Chains A and B, each alone.
Chain A
């Protein structure tokens, strides 16, 4: 077996393991014969463990081969006329470490969630969505084309929204889920249109026709105009998943979901999906100063916004959500500055720390007391000196702004979402009136 064959096998295993697990626990549930809690967690654990160990083995083989990228042809899905839908994956210095990290984290969270959600009515549903998320994450990370990447991206969005609304009997959870999904879907326009532009520019969605897949030393193979257009669209797509202003309103609300999913989605993996896509397409960004400037501008603005708003939150999960937002924004700034390895290290470091914090959040008071006992007093909030150097009037003003979350949500609601919804409702009302008139009901309706 050649090195390429071995890598192909291992890469396919990283994808097939969570998918097989999804089928193994999903199909019995659909037939109203859900597996027991123990069997479910065991199967999910095996799926993620196989994915993780395959990724670690792939990393070892890649390291031996000097991290030369390997393109893996999984299958030709279908081919008609001049159109061929193929599934190409890439194993390189970006994708494989990322799969190691994401599969490993999913494995750990699975172990935690098995206990945390014991006897919860939606136990099987949680693990179905977790494995869908894991499979989608691996697909997105390993994708060697914008089309395959989008398939994974889509699985992330759907599983994320459904897990936010996991406690479906709570109105707030349902509204938060719908808000998150709407934001994702709006920003999906970016990735879909990027796909359109890429297909028109190079005749396929494969990354190796857009840029040399040799991370972190890829080179752009398309014109600066195409690179700018695609980069701007990808930046737009990333804004939704990374919860950047003006799309940040969903993130604090997303904490309505169960703690394990909050940890892995909004502390670790989903929140960084946009950053990963931008890192993958970094050679394009290099040729697109406009897109990089937009990233720096939006990232800096969101970091300041999230940092300020996070300081006035009164519940721990919201504080952690805004802390996640701050770090994700800084990662985008780093990508905008043209750095490649530092953002990747930042993503992994931040994800591990934040998911730990979120998983520990139910025991936050206990932890804080222990810390205070160890330090001999309560530690104050970090960065207070920065605020204290401002004049008192400014501090009060900033406090008000922070309490209102920077008026961001109000502005989006009043000037964007509100008018669109009112317009559509007006159209629907006119439709009803027109149908009533056609049906000869107009006079009756007036009465």
Chain B
């Protein structure tokens, strides 16, 4: 009853919210492009991103009063629609908004020149639009727009041409695979019985495109290159939202019965990348290389979870998506703040920056801990979910996640000790932290800890989203424990029910398993 009264208004709120979220950075980017806002670029960009963030929060709140039916608007193609909001992007839009707002708040003054701000804001508008659609062709176009803006920002940066070239090679390949794969998927969906070779080829091409765009081994080279050569704002804005993960959810995970082999393939390579990236992070010789390798590892972990077969695995992947994104954004921004004061930072020797910048040291440590699963942070919950989900599904996946987490932990502490430990120069100046930096870092830390200590609402919202993505009957009441007609899971006594003819199964009923998995 409540839903029927509230739903139309909520739907309007959501659609209006999407419009405002996309329009605010678009208009601000336009103003920056016209050169009419050169004297107040920071207020302009902060205001635009703040409006987008508030509007995306309004979308998330409005979603809570709907009956859980996705809100769709505009032209449809395949299974996608021009504007499509469900439980997943209702949560992800505020996440993207927070990341982008944090970037423009912390950006050092000299980085905020007109062209940079223009590309950042237009890129933000394209990213928001991408996260609000499920239309395959719109996804392809927005992939191209976001990649082009990132490439351009990198290319015009002094010393950024090599990184831009590596990025361009990967993105051109990714875009070609994505465009061809999407066209084939739309023409001949592999999840329909009549599907033929075209649909299968389409699934594989989109899988390869996702690997390229996400920097999955062996297509990962652009990830460290971008972090080394691009401005930090560009690198973070290009990687932290994880547009390829979102695309994978819409085009592959949402049709898991048709592309099961492709998802297994993605999961395997993602797990290898998670471990390999963490291992590379251990031996990086500069701070940006470390952040690139760490981000690559964590991003791969998200894809590994997305390729899972259980809502809990997807839920864990969504949580890692948010927790690692916020934490690595924090690490990146602290690094940027540090670099703006002290230049490039090597990890080959102890840099002794603690004395120079104790507040930045504290925030770096907290973000680092939040990235590796300190108890009480969201990443602890995320790791618990993703490992527990993996264990229900495949043991080797759980063990590889553990290996990745352990290596990431050592890498983060090595980095912290190398940057902030060691003797400092006698005459080195002390760098005070700016109020806007402190505000941003505190807000990000607060989000990570509050969601870690009180994860219930977020995790439950993401669970519903995961069930929706997997087309599980989320609204149905759970069946009774261990019903005699359904065979019990050998390990846990949990009942399984095959949702898709073929290979995949979704755990729906279940005996309770308990755990706060550590990592």
Which A residues are closer than 8 A to B by beta carbons? 29-32, 77-87, 145, 147-148, 150-155, 158, 161-162, 165, 168-171, 173-174, 177-178, 181-182, 185-186, 188-189, 191-193, 195-196, 199-200, 203-206, 421, 424-425, 427-428, 431, 434-436, 438-441
Contact of A82 among B224, B409, B509 (CB under 8 A): B509
- Name the residue among A82, A188, A421, A427 with the largest chain B CB count within 10 angstroms: A82
Contact of A83 among B385, B402, B405, B410 (CB under 8 A): B385
Give the complex CA separation of A83 and B421 in angstroms. 41
Q: In the bound complex, do residue B406 and residue A188 qualify as a contact, i.e. CB atoms below 8 Å apart?
A: yes
Contact of A78 among B284, B285, B455, B509 (CB under 8 A): B455
Give the complex CA separation of A82 and B162 in angstroms. 49
Chain B residue at minimum C-beta to C-beta distance from A434? B221
Say yes or no for B442: interface residue by CB 8 A criterion: yes
Interface size range on B against A: 35 or more
Q: In the bound complex, do residue A436 and residue B162 qualify as a contact, i.e. CB atoms below 8 Å apart?
A: yes
Give the complex CA separation of A375 and B512 in angstroms. 66
Q: In the bound complex, do residue B424 and residue A169 qualify as a contact, i.e. CB atoms below 8 Å apart?
A: yes
Contact of B279 among A29, A427, A439 (CB under 8 A): A427
| Contact partners of B198 in chain A: CB under 8 A | none
B359: shortest Cβ distance to chain A, in Å? 7
Give the complex CA separation of A162 and B420 in angstroms. 12
Give the complex CA separation of A309 and B515 in angstroms. 42
A202: shortest Cβ distance to chain B, in Å? 9
Q: In the bound complex, do residue B514 and residue A196 qualify as a contact, i.e. CB atoms below 8 Å apart?
A: no
B148: shortest Cβ distance to chain A, in Å? 18
Contacts between the two chains (Cβ within 8 Å), count: 216
Say yes or no for B374: interface residue by CB 8 A criterion: yes
27 CB-based A-B contacts, threshold 8 Å: A32-B359, A82-B312, A85-B514, A147-B384, A151-B380, A151-B518, A153-B518, A154-B373, A169-B421, A171-B350, A171-B421, A174-B422, A178-B417, A186-B406, A195-B517, A196-B391, A199-B388, A199-B515, A200-B491, A203-B513, A204-B514, A424-B279, A424-B283, A428-B280, A435-B162, A436-B162, A438-B165
Say yes or no for B460: interface residue by CB 8 A criterion: yes
| Contact partners of A152 in chain B: CB under 8 A | 375
Say yes or no for B147: interface residue by CB 8 A criterion: no
Contact of A199 among B166, B391, B494 (CB under 8 A): B391
Q: In the bound complex, do residue B280 and residue A189 qualify as a contact, i.e. CB atoms below 8 Å apart?
A: no
A422: shortest Cβ distance to chain B, in Å? 9
Q: In the bound complex, do residue A425 and residue B283 qualify as a contact, i.e. CB atoms below 8 Å apart?
A: yes
Give the complex CA separation of A252 and B391 in angstroms. 38
Q: In the bound complex, do residue B387 and residue A424 qualify as a contact, i.e. CB atoms below 8 Å apart?
A: no
Give the complex CA separation of A152 and B221 in angstroms. 38
| Contact partners of A78 in chain B: CB under 8 A | 381, 455-456, 459-460
Q: In the bound complex, do residue B221 and residue A431 qualify as a contact, i.e. CB atoms below 8 Å apart?
A: yes
Give the complex CA separation of A80 and B467 in angstroms. 11
Per-residue interface assignment for chain B, residues 310 to 328, with 1 indicating a CB less than 8 Å from any chain A CB and 0 otherwise: 0110010000000000000
Contact of A155 among B375, B492, B513 (CB under 8 A): B375
Q: In the bound complex, do residue B354 and residue A168 qualify as a contact, i.e. CB atoms below 8 Å apart?
A: yes
Give the complex CA separation of A153 and B519 in angstroms. 11
Contact of B519 among A148, A171, A186, A192 (CB under 8 A): A192
| Contact partners of B511 in chain A: CB under 8 A | 82, 203
Given the interface pairs A174-B350, A192-B406, the reply to whether A439 lies near B162 with Cβ below 8 Å is yes
Q: In the bound complex, do residue A439 and residue B165 qualify as a contact, i.e. CB atoms below 8 Å apart?
A: yes
Chain B residue at minimum C-beta to C-beta distance from A177? B417
Q: In the bound complex, do residue A85 and residue B515 qualify as a contact, i.e. CB atoms below 8 Å apart?
A: yes
**Further pairs besides A32-B433, A78-B459, A86-B516: 19, Cβ < 8 Å:** A81-B315, A81-B463, A81-B508, A82-B492, A150-B516, A154-B518, A165-B421, A171-B423, A174-B350, A182-B413, A182-B414, A188-B409, A200-B491, A203-B491, A204-B513, A427-B279, A428-B284, A435-B225, A439-B166
Say yes or no for B68: interface residue by CB 8 A criterion: no
Q: In the bound complex, do residue B463 and residue A150 qualify as a contact, i.e. CB atoms below 8 Å apart?
A: no
Give the complex CA separation of A79 and B423 in angstroms. 47
Contact of A206 among B352, B384, B514 (CB under 8 A): B514
State the 10 A-B residue pairs at the shortest beta-carbon distance, nearest first. Answer: A82-B510, A439-B162, A174-B421, A150-B518, A151-B375, A147-B516, A204-B514, A203-B492, A80-B463, A85-B516
B445: shortest Cβ distance to chain A, in Å? 8
Q: In the bound complex, do residue A148 and residue B516 qualify as a contact, i.e. CB atoms below 8 Å apart?
A: yes
Secondary structure at chain A's binding surface: helix, strand, loop or mixed? helix
Say yes or no for B65: interface residue by CB 8 A criterion: no
Q: In the bound complex, do residue B455 and residue A205 qualify as a contact, i.e. CB atoms below 8 Å apart?
A: no
| Contact partners of A151 in chain B: CB under 8 A | 375, 380, 516, 518
Q: In the bound complex, do residue B165 and residue A192 qualify as a contact, i.e. CB atoms below 8 Å apart?
A: no
Give the complex CA separation of A203 and B511 in angstroms. 9
A414: shortest Cβ distance to chain B, in Å? 18
Give the complex CA separation of A145 and B165 in angstroms. 51
Contact of B387 among A32, A196, A204, A435 (CB under 8 A): A196
B79: shortest Cβ distance to chain A, in Å? 25
Contact of A204 among B398, B507, B515 (CB under 8 A): B515
Q: In the bound complex, do residue B162 and residue A84 qualify as a contact, i.e. CB atoms below 8 Å apart?
A: no
A104: shortest Cβ distance to chain B, in Å? 24
Chain B residue at minimum C-beta to C-beta distance from A209? B514
Give the complex CA separation of A193 and B514 in angstroms. 16
| Contact partners of B402 in chain A: CB under 8 A | 189, 192-193, 196
Contact of B355 among A31, A83, A169 (CB under 8 A): A169
Say yes or no for B163: interface residue by CB 8 A criterion: yes
- Name the residue among A81, A151, A439 with the largest chain B CB count within 10 angstroms: A81
A368: shortest Cβ distance to chain B, in Å? 33
Give the complex CA separation of A31 and B417 in angstroms. 23
Give the complex CA separation of A438 and B164 in angstroms. 10
Given the interface pairs A81-B507, A192-B406, A439-B166, the reply to whether A86 lies near B514 with Cβ below 8 Å is yes
A278: shortest Cβ distance to chain B, in Å? 18
Q: In the bound complex, do residue B221 and residue A438 qualify as a contact, i.e. CB atoms below 8 Å apart?
A: yes
| Contact partners of B442 in chain A: CB under 8 A | 30-31
Say yes or no for B268: interface residue by CB 8 A criterion: no
Per-residue interface assignment for chain B, residues 485 to 519, with 1 indicating a CB less than 8 Å from any chain A CB and 0 otherwise: 00000011110000000000001111111111111
Chain B residue at minimum C-beta to C-beta distance from A151? B375
Q: In the bound complex, do residue A438 and residue B169 qualify as a contact, i.e. CB atoms below 8 Å apart?
A: yes
B440: shortest Cβ distance to chain A, in Å? 13
Per-residue interface assignment for chain B, residues 352 to 374, with 1 indicating a CB less than 8 Å from any chain A CB and 0 otherwise: 10110001001001000100011
Q: In the bound complex, do residue B224 and residue A431 qualify as a contact, i.e. CB atoms below 8 Å apart?
A: yes
A15: shortest Cβ distance to chain B, in Å? 12
Say yes or no for B438: interface residue by CB 8 A criterion: yes
Give the complex CA separation of A204 and B392 in angstroms. 12
Q: In the bound complex, do residue B388 and residue A181 qualify as a contact, i.e. CB atoms below 8 Å apart?
A: no
Q: In the bound complex, do residue B398 and residue A185 qualify as a contact, i.e. CB atoms below 8 Å apart?
A: no
A437: shortest Cβ distance to chain B, in Å? 10
Given the interface pairs A161-B413, A189-B402, the reply to whether A169 lies near B423 with Cβ below 8 Å is yes
Q: In the bound complex, do residue A77 and residue B455 qualify as a contact, i.e. CB atoms below 8 Å apart?
A: yes
B301: shortest Cβ distance to chain A, in Å? 15
Q: In the bound complex, do residue B422 and residue A83 qualify as a contact, i.e. CB atoms below 8 Å apart?
A: no
Give the complex CA separation of A72 and B413 in angstroms. 34
Given the interface pairs A80-B385, A82-B507, A181-B413, the reply to whether A192 lies near B513 with Cβ below 8 Å is no
| Contact partners of B380 in chain A: CB under 8 A | 151
- Name the residue among A80, A199, A200 with the largest chain B CB count within 10 angstroms: A80
Q: For residues 146 through 176 of chain B, which have their beta carbon under 8 Å from a beta carbon of chain A?
A: 161-163, 165-166, 169
Q: In the bound complex, do residue A168 and residue B166 qualify as a contact, i.e. CB atoms below 8 Å apart?
A: no
| Contact partners of B350 in chain A: CB under 8 A | 171, 174
Given the interface pairs A168-B420, A174-B350, A174-B422, the reply to whether A158 lies near B369 with Cβ below 8 Å is yes
| Contact partners of A428 in chain B: CB under 8 A | 280, 283-285
Q: In the bound complex, do residue B312 and residue A80 qualify as a contact, i.e. CB atoms below 8 Å apart?
A: yes
Say yes or no for B395: interface residue by CB 8 A criterion: yes
A149: shortest Cβ distance to chain B, in Å? 9
Given the interface pairs A78-B459, A195-B517, the reply to whether A439 lies near B406 with Cβ below 8 Å is no
Give the complex CA separation of A266 and B409 in angstroms. 22
